[in-house]
Structure 1
């Protein structure tokens, strides 16, 4: 479970940065909305997987609701999932 959660956390962070750094500029500055659709779908799927795994991981490890909230808020912030992976998921 830990390896899967770490992998999804990293992939979700990468997809978020791609959405903000590539997808949005292409959509609004270059008038190319198509890449944003695919990056957005990938990011949405990975975000849902990240939140689900965060919930399952906190329940499995008996970490408490506060830790889940930290994981959840980190998923909303750019670079947040990288922080979670480095601070909480490395053993």
Structure 2
């Protein structure tokens, strides 16, 4: 957990969760068909963390090298350019 949010993609998962992952994915396919018309999106990784015996580790802000922007969403080209700006790199033409 960092900046008040669980960072599910920065994690270690046990192979014993494979069956649970397969069930979540199968259920998501069925739900996607129903929810497509409503424009809903579901985060499947949240489901895995919520449904398994998870240990969430707090990232202390005093950790050497820790920076508040270490975990950022990058879903669109604009997000990528924002990250490049933060780290002082040149933008990419969109």
What TM bracket, shorter-length normalisation?
under 0.3
Query: What TM-score results when the alignment is normalised by the length of structure 1?
Result: 0.27
Query: What TM-score results when the alignment is normalised by the length of structure 2?
Result: 0.27
Higher radius of gyration, 1 or 2: 2
Q: Which has the higher contact order (CA 8 A, sep 6+)?
A: 1
